[in-house]
Amino acid sequence: MKNEVFARAMTQIDDELIKDAHAVKNNTRLRVIRTVGSAAACLAVVIIAGILLLSNGVSIKTENVFTGNAPSDAHLPAAFADGPDTAAYADSVSVRLTVRTRKDVQIEVSDGVLTVSDGDGNAVYAGDAYEGKSPVSVIWTVENPDEEKTYSMTVNGKTVRLISVGGEWKTEK
Amino acid sequence: MTDERIIELYFRRDESAVKATDEKYGAYCMTVSNNILGNRSDSEENVNDTYVRLWRSIPPTRPKIFSAYIAKTARNLALDKLNGAHAQKRGADEFTASLEEVGECTPSSVSTENSAEMNGLSAAISEFLRNENADARRMFVCRYFYSESTAEIAKRFSCGESRVKSSLMRTRKRLAKHLEKEGYTI
């Protein structure tokens, strides 16, 4: 008999160990509860995933809002630092934000200029309407802003407003 | 009937002790035997031989855990049958499979002829199992003492077979390390 030594040695282990092993009975009720519980958990995941997929899940994070003579080159993607679209703005307000979405990013502004960098920090766009892959970093600059006016940016259907409150520019979603 | 009362019948040499044992533990003894021998007729013979051995050993032995004593007696007799001089018996498929599995934790330096060595090995295995977590310990005993299949163990523990197999594999590896630390050569 192969490995008879082990078989014989197992025969002589402590009685408590032998009795304890069979203390665990086949618990059909517990198995049913676990099976039903697992099925319910799977169903919940499917429902939540469906809701998330159907919803327009987009994350917009405003990093900062700054004003001044010009957004410095440090704020601009390197590819645009010396380009024609980076003329110093005498008076401007800029919003830096990060956009993440499950779908492609679509950004449009009513006023101002978008400068867009991709997730690797590469400059990809300058203009007033952008469409591309997520995530992106955006600097939205409005030249000579009017403090009486509300400026808006639309990101995949969600609106970000730029308004002046007590002389200070803020964003609201 | 309680185990204490059945054992008392043995001590009083009352033959109803065997009947009481059969009523309470007959199916249990049959399962232990059949899981090793793999056929009904040999298992029935083994059950009867177990009762004879119980009658002859009690007294003087007074088992503390009667069910374990019966299982050990039945198991030893079944192993003897498989190992008999003229035996061409192969044993139950699951039992044979379980013996294949334990090669990685079987000491090469121990002989079944040396009872002191065998007792030492049993004690080392018992000590190891006592320090294992409950499920791992119980699964190990169900597989390598009771020779239950992994499917039966999975049903008993309300889990998947793959969990049983991976638990057994990890426990075997830990046992091998434990036995090597105890000075055994695997």
The C-alpha of B15 sits at a distance from chain A's nearest C-alpha, in angstroms, of 25
pLDDT, position A52:
56
CB B46 within 8 A of CB B74: yes
Residue A4 pLDDT more than 60? yes
Contact indicator for B122, A13 with CB cutoff of 8 Å = yes
Q: Is A38 on the interface with B (CB under 8 A)?
A: no
Q: Does residue A74 sit at the B interface (CB-CB below 8 Å)?
A: no
The fraction of chain A above a pLDDT of 90, given in percent, is 24
**Model pTM?**
0.60
- Give me chain A's average pLDDT, please: 78
3-state secondary structure at position A40: helix
Q: Tens of pLDDT along B117-164?
A: 999 999 999 999 999 999 999 999 999 999 999 999 999 999 999 999
The tokens describing B166, both together, are 């991976």
Contact yes or no for B118 and A6 at CB 8 A: no
Give the confidence band of B83 by pLDDT, cuts at 50, 70, 90.
confident
Contacts of B158 in chain A (CB under 8 A): 26-27, 30-31, 34
What is the predicted pLDDT for the residue at A134?
Answer: 86
Closest CA to B47 of B81, B2, B13: B81
Contact check, Cβ <8 Å, A13/B145: yes
pLDDT tens digits, one per residue of A53-64: 555 578 888 888
Closest CA to A109 of A99, A119, A101: A99
Q: Using 50, 70 and 90 to split pLDDT, how confident is the model at A88?
A: very low
CA distance B17 to chain A (A): 21
Q: How many CB atoms lie within 10 A of CB A42?
A: 10
Question: What is the per-residue DSSP string for chain B?
Answer: --HHHHHHHHHTT-THHHHHHHHHHHHHHHHHHHHHH-SHHHHHHHHHHHHHHHHHHTTT---SSHHHHHHHHHHHHHHHHHH-TT------HHHHHHHHHGGGG--SS--TT-HHHHHHHHHHHHHHHHTS-HHHHHHHHHHHTS---HHHHHHHTTS-HHHHHHHHHHHHHHHHHHHHHTT---
Taking residues A148-155, what's their average pLDDT?
91
- Of residues B99, B141, B158, nearest to A31 (C-beta): B158
Which residues of chain B does A25 touch, with a Cβ-Cβ cutoff of 8 Å?
156
Facing B112 at nearest CB: one of A2, A4, A24: A4
Complex ipTM above 0.90? yes
* Identity of the residue in A11, A16, A22 whose CB atom sits nearest the CB atom of B72: A11
- Identify the pLDDT of residue A124: 86
Percent of chain B past pLDDT 70, that is, above it, reads 97
Res A28 pLDDT > 90:
no
At residue A158, the 3 state secondary structure works out as strand
Secondary structure class of A66 (helix, strand, coil): strand
CA nearest A21: which of B178, B111, B171?
B171
- In B, minimum Cα distance to A14 occurs at B126
Which tokens is B1 given? 């009937």
Query: CA B82, CA B186: separation in Å to the nearest integer?
Result: 24
* Range among A115-119, B2-6, B107-111 with highest mean pLDDT value: B2-6
A12 contacts B137? CB cut-off 8 A: no
Q: How far, in Å, CA of B185 to CA of B108, rounded? A: 6
**Rg (alpha carbons) of chain B, rounded to whole number:** 17
Pairwise CB contact (< 8 Å): B146 & A15? no
Size of interface A-B (CB pairs under 8 A): 114
Contact A3 B144 (CB under 8 A): no
User: Contact B76/A24, CB-based, under 8 Å?
Assistant: no
